[in-house]
Amino acid sequence: MDAAEDRKDIEAVLAGSTEAFNHLVKRYQRPVYYLALRMLRVPEDADDVTQKTFVKAYRALSGFRFESSFKTWLCAIAINLCRTELMKTKRPTEELSDRISDGGFEERQAAEERAYQKAHLEAALERLPPRQKEVVALRIYQEMPFKDIAKVLKSTETAVKVNFHHAMKSLRDWIQKKVHHEPL
């Protein structure tokens, strides 16, 4: 992602070009959509949040001060909208047992085992506290540096790293429990 290109498009939008805003949308709609989908899990909701994110960004663009990257700024808007969405719908936390059928781990074929591991990790990710989940989504899936994540979440770099550490440790512990066949 080219910051100079973003700046050029943003300045063009502010000068009245809606076409330039389309460039920004096309450049960032996928990361925003996947961030929202990672947070909300429902494609329709992720789509809604993505659209709202860009409309809000358009409205507030004149307030963008280039103190962070445009992507960081968009992610901050998207995260706020996801939080609102999550508060509105109050999704129940799925239990692992809802997603993973019982049965002997050993008897499964290799493909099934892989699917099982993925489902387990997916479910473990779902169980993270909201802030830790946000940090993981931004760090792992958006590959964002910690200092940018701190900007998105209006936090400090240290706090973000601590959250990330706790998240990774919890995930690893859950996986290890799985390996030892302990109940979750």
Partner 1 sequence: MNPCDPYRDRLAAFAPEGEEDRDLARHLEACPACRSEFQSYLALTEELKELNLPDPGDLYFQAQAKAIARQIAEEGRAGRSQRRWWAPSLALAAAVVLLFIGFSRFRETPRISEPEWREALQFLSEEEGVLDPEPGLGLEDLSPEQLERLATNIEQRLQQGDEGDLPEDSGDWDELSGPELDRLLQRLNETSSRRQHEA
Considering the complex, what minimum distance in angstroms separates the CB of residue 168 from partner 1?
4
**At residue 141, what is the residue type?**
Y
How distant is the alpha carbon of residue 111 from its chain centre? 27
Tell me how far CA of residue 64 lies from CA of 21, 30, 59, 131, 151, in angstroms: 14, 21, 10, 25, 13
Burial group, residue 32, by CB count within 10 angstroms (0-12, 13-18, 19+)? buried
User: Which of 12, 80, 100, 159 is in the footprint of partner 1 by CB under 8 A?
Assistant: 80
Q: Does 180 interact with partner 1 (rule: CB under 8 A)?
A: no
Q: Does 28 interact with partner 1 (rule: CB under 8 A)?
A: no
Burial group, residue 52, by CB count within 10 angstroms (0-12, 13-18, 19+)? middle
Q: Select the span of 2-10, 92-100, 103-111, 133-141 touching partner 1 (CB under 8 A).
A: 133-141
Which SS3 state, helix, strand or coil, does residue 171 take?
helix
H helix and E strand count, the chain: 9, 0
Considering the complex, what minimum distance in angstroms separates the CB of residue 111 from partner 1?
14
Q: Does 63 interact with partner 1 (rule: CB under 8 A)?
A: yes
User: Which of 9, 38, 39, 45 is in the footprint of partner 1 by CB under 8 A?
Assistant: 38
Burial group, residue 24, by CB count within 10 angstroms (0-12, 13-18, 19+)? buried
DSSP code for 69: -
Q: What string marks each residue from 84 to 123 as x (binds partner 1 by CB under 8 A) or -? A: x--------------------------------xx--xx-
Q: Does 161 interact with partner 1 (rule: CB under 8 A)?
A: yes
Q: Select the span of 4-12, 28-36, 96-104, 105-113 touching partner 1 (CB under 8 A).
A: 28-36
Q: Does 70 interact with partner 1 (rule: CB under 8 A)?
A: no
Cβ burial 116-138 (10 Å sphere, 16+ → b, else e): beeebeebbbebbeebbbbbbbb
For binding to partner 1 (CB under 8 A), which residues are involved?
Answer: 18, 21-22, 25-26, 29-30, 33-34, 37-38, 43, 47, 50-51, 54-60, 62-65, 73, 76-77, 80-81, 83-84, 117-118, 121-122, 125, 136, 140-141, 145-146, 161-162, 164-165, 167-169, 171-172, 175
